Amino acid sequence: MAPAIWDLVEIISRDELERLQVERLKYQLARVKSLVPFYTSLFEGIDPDTIQSISDLASLPFTNKQDLRDNYPFGLFATPMDEVVRIHASSGTTGKPTVVGYTAKDIQMWAGLVARALTLAGVTKNDIVQNAYGYGLFTGGLGLHYGVEKLGAAVVPTSSGNTARQVMLMQDFGTTVLCATPSYALVLAENAAKSEVNLPASPLRVGIFGAEPWSEQMRMEIESRLGITALDIYGLSEIIGPAVAMECVHKTGMHIAEDHFIPEIIDSDTLKPLPLGQSGELVFTCITKEALPLIRYRTHDLARLLADKCLCGRSTVRMEKVLGRNDDMLIIRGVNVFPSQIESVLLAMGQIEPHYQLIVDRGDDQMDNLEVRIESSSATNQHQELEGGIKANLQNALGIGCSVTVLPPGEIARSEGKAVRVIDNRHI
């Protein structure tokens, strides 16, 4: 049976799609240039009418998180406040949050994209969807919520936290789909196992997991602990929130909603566009949003775009799993590593739990030290052999020397939202 498609635009030809994109792009550029003082000066001397193809995008300047900060809170909005019906914000590590706004039409469009994403994952109106993304300023909770309703499935708005109760509801309601960060999905699995609730034997069958990087090894771990198919969903508040891209059941990268967001991959150093298939920084241009249409917004997320046709029949470009943010890359004694690469090595080991933390310090000798903390699956105190094995595997796979501490099960802090994997005490 052919897979269900939410919107026919997902299967139109590349030529038709590009025509639609260019038309929307030109309209959007003219709109922001006349409505948002920031763009009026950014695009000085640039005539939106000269944009004739997607590759012409490369002639436009980028936008960045700093532009949102400089225009805090509503300075980049392209609609008057009486047309804004929702405001979300993402908490920065320092200072003020990044603020984003939506018109009623934006909210409808977003709900449609989330419904599209859920359809990609094989979710239908017959499903019961437990939404354990945090409700509030974070876009995960409300973003998924409205999409589930739009699809016509039943949403259970548990938000994150209160884990024992989540597990109880999951059983009592016969939840079939779980939406959560991958790290919180593991916490739910752990709690269920402790309470002797057999989730793999329950009706739960699909997980919609995202908002943080997670490796293929982590996928396997979650799938076996919960007895489900675990799929990746990507998005960021500045662009809209969850459902900018979503994996289909073939698990060959996330289909990007290109009719709304034009993706590019650039080299973060030269800022030049990279050809399809090369790994680099993702950049998005919002061609349909009303309230906050960012143009060539640098996400700082590193990924690769894949253009070959997917088995599901959709023609949209896909993005590979995000390796991490270029600003989260650790440089340990000159070697670049992403926490997700360390995760892959750790979870391939066996005998350990999928909870870990990376502590980085700089010694008096000015050398960087990385300590990898991980939990053992067994309660014994004899971990020397395991520690030695992990050390050797990290050295082989990533070329970094580090110290390894294997802790008893349950010692590493659990997260209800995005996991904090790295504690960098170097303050550089």
Residues binding ligand DLL (CB under 6 A): 90, 133, 138-140, 210-213, 232-237, 241-242, 299, 301, 322, 325
Structure tokens at 40: 């009026």
The least CB distance from residue 35 to ligand DLL, in Å, is 24
The least CB distance from residue 100 to ligand DLL, in Å, is 8
Structure tokens at 287: 């061609």
Name the residue nearer to ligand DLL (CB basis): 57 or 179: 179
The least CB distance from residue 404 to ligand DLL, in Å, is 25
Short-list 3, 57, 1, CA closest to 29: 57
Cis peptide before 409 (omega within 30 of 0): no
Query: Whole-angstrom Cα distance, residue 411 to residue 295?
Result: 44
Name the residue nearer to ligand DLL (CB basis): 175 or 299: 299
Residue showing tokens 């799993």: 321
Query: Residue 302 in contact with residue 324, Cβ under 8 Å?
Result: yes
Region of 178 (left: φ > 0; alpha: ψ -120 to 50; beta: rest) is beta
How much helix, strand and coil, in percent to the nearest 5, is found in the chain? 35, 25, 40
Which helix (H) or strand (E) segment is 422 a member of? strand 422-424
The least CB distance from residue 417 to ligand DLL, in Å, is 9
Alpha helix ranges (H) inside 215-286: 216-226
Name the residue nearer to ligand DLL (CB basis): 43 or 284: 284
Name the residue nearer to ligand DLL (CB basis): 43 or 110: 110
**Torsion angle of the four alpha carbons 196, 197, 200, 205, in this order, in degrees rounded to the nearest 10:** -160
The alpha carbon of 125 is separated from its chain's Cα centroid by a whole number of angstroms, namely: 24
- Closest residue to bound ligand DLL by CB: 210
Helix axes 216-226 and 339-347, enclosed angle (nearest 10): 50
Name the residue nearer to ligand DLL (CB basis): 76 or 402: 76
The least CB distance from residue 340 to ligand DLL, in Å, is 8
The least CB distance from residue 120 to ligand DLL, in Å, is 13
Query: Whole-angstrom Cα distance, residue 286 to residue 297?
Result: 9
Name the residue nearer to ligand DLL (CB basis): 25 or 419: 419
Query: Whole-angstrom Cα distance, residue 217 to residue 310?
Result: 22
The least CB distance from residue 246 to ligand DLL, in Å, is 9
Number of helical H runs and strand E runs in the chain: 10, 20
Short-list 255, 293, 334, CA closest to 7: 255
The least CB distance from residue 352 to ligand DLL, in Å, is 22
Name the residue nearer to ligand DLL (CB basis): 89 or 193: 89
Name the residue nearer to ligand DLL (CB basis): 192 or 324: 324
Name the residue nearer to ligand DLL (CB basis): 141 or 383: 141
Short-list 67, 143, 52, 78, CA closest to 297: 67
The least CB distance from residue 172 to ligand DLL, in Å, is 25
